[in-house]
Structures are given as structure tokens and as C-alpha cells.
Amino acid sequence: MIRLIIVEDEDFIRRGLVHTMDWLSMDCVVVGEAADGQEGLELIRTLKPDIVISDIRMPYLDGISMIREALKDTDFKSILLTSYAEFDYAKRAIEISVSSYLLKPVAEEDLAEAILKIRMDLVDKTRENHTLADEIRDIIRQKEEKEYYVVKALKKIMEHYDQKLNIEAVAEELGVSSSYLSRRFKKVTGNTFLDILNEYRIIQSVKLLASGQYRVGEIAEKTGFSDYKHFYSVFKKYTGISPSDYIK
């Protein structure tokens, strides 16, 4: 679930955003609210939200300055609330990466669209920039002689991710105990066998979804998931959105 903070100095607007929006339907939860930029900055640093929704003009610290300062030590996406008079100014003056600008009063459908845009950006980043395959190849190249069993397990993931696969079966095939292989795998890669397998599968599924050639159920089968429900939950865990939302 996406954690967000709302920073708005007008009480009526802030409380309306916090209490009247259907955050659950957007898979979001409001973890904090602030009435000025300075309070918002402290809240961001303390709570480390995924998204900050902020007004531009506020006491003590404006929204642009607050976001710029917070981004120095905290990673998050931002949505700016503007009036018609501020809109052009905001787009010209901003040097930070703002995901969306929403005109006040904020319509729920506009907010939901902005949240979805952030989710899609994260998925696109996963598809285009993710280097898990390169990381696996690096480990294989560097550890081939010293970590024979771990390397074999990683190769199994890359070559057979679309089949029924678990560490117990791989360990049995290699002639070692699953507990030993699990320990070595975690020590060398920093992750469990299942974590890397699932992440690798999701990366492949995103590519198939982007091609537009397959139905979601077919993609689940092609990437080694036992059923659609399991694929759905794992996909959402790693990308933040459902497969059907990605297609839309």
C-alpha cells in the first residue's frame, strides 16, 4: 500500500483531502498531514512517505522549496496542488521532478489518475532500467568457481523461470540439502531464492504485458506462476499495481 503525506495550509482543503477521498480504492493510506512547509519537511524526513501531495504557497516554506529540500535525503514522488494563477509559475519555476500538477479544488478522479501515473512510472522503470539479469550474470561470472551450487541455482532461475521451480527441487538435483543451499544463496546474493525467482518472473511478465500479445492468464502461465491469483499478488507486490491496471 502506498504511504502518502498531505501538506496544505488551508484547513478545509487539507481535511477534505484526508477524510473525503477514497484512498483505499487507490491502494493508498494517509500517514500524516501538515499545515505548513516547515512542518511538512519534518514530517517527510520522519515518515519517509512514497508520495507527498503539497500546496505551493504556504507559510514558513513554500511547497517547491520543501520538496527540493526533502529530496536531498529522502526519496519520494510528489504531486503539487495549484490555483489557476500559480499553474504557469509552478511549471516554469520547478526544477524538481514533480509527477503531476492538480488544480484546486481537486477532483477525486484527477487524483486517482495522478496516483496511477506514479505507479506506471515505477513499472516502466522496472521494465526499462532494472538490471537484475545483469546482476545475476555478474554473480555467475565472479563466483562460478567458488560458489558452484549458488551459480547453478541462479542459472536454473534464468533458464527455467517459466517452469515449476523451488529451492528444494534444485537442491535435490545438485545433491545438497535445501537448508545449505538456502544459506549460501542468501549469503552470496543478499536475497532468498524465491525473492529472486519472483522478481525475475515479474520482469519477464512486464515485457509480455507491454507487447499486448497475450492475456493476463496466459502470461501468468508463461512466467511460471501456478495460477492467476498468485501472479496477481506477486505482480502487485513488486510493481505497486495490478496486471490489469498496467494493461490499461
Chain center to CA of 4: 13
Contact call for residues 226 and 165 (beta carbons, < 8 A): no
Statement: the pTM of the whole predicted model exceeds 0.75:
no
Residue ranges of domains in the chain, CATH in brackets: 2-121 (3.40.50.2300), 132-247 (1.10.10.60)
What gap in Å lies between CA 248 and CA 231, rounded to an integer? 17
Q: Residue 200: helix, strand or coil by DSSP?
A: helix
pLDDT of res. 123: 67
Mean pLDDT of the chain: 87
Confidence of residue 126 (pLDDT cuts 50, 70, 90): low
Confidence of residue 196 (pLDDT cuts 50, 70, 90): very high
Show the cell assigned to 66: 520543501
Model pLDDT for residues 132-141, shown as the tens digit of each residue: 777 888 888 8
Amino acid at 55: D
pLDDT of res. 192: 93
Strand partners, 78: 52
pLDDT of res. 54: 94
Query: Which DSSP string corresponds to 17-59?
Result: HHHHS-GGGGTEEEEEEESSHHHHHHHHHHH--SEEEEESS-S
SS3 content of the chain, % helix, strand, coil (to 5): 60, 10, 25
Show the cell assigned to 216: 493476463
What gap in Å lies between CA 121 and CA 109, rounded to an integer? 18
Show the cell assigned to 225: 506462476
Average pLDDT value for residue range 158-169: 94
Whether the pLDDT of residue 128 is over 70: the answer is no
Confidence of residue 15 (pLDDT cuts 50, 70, 90): very high
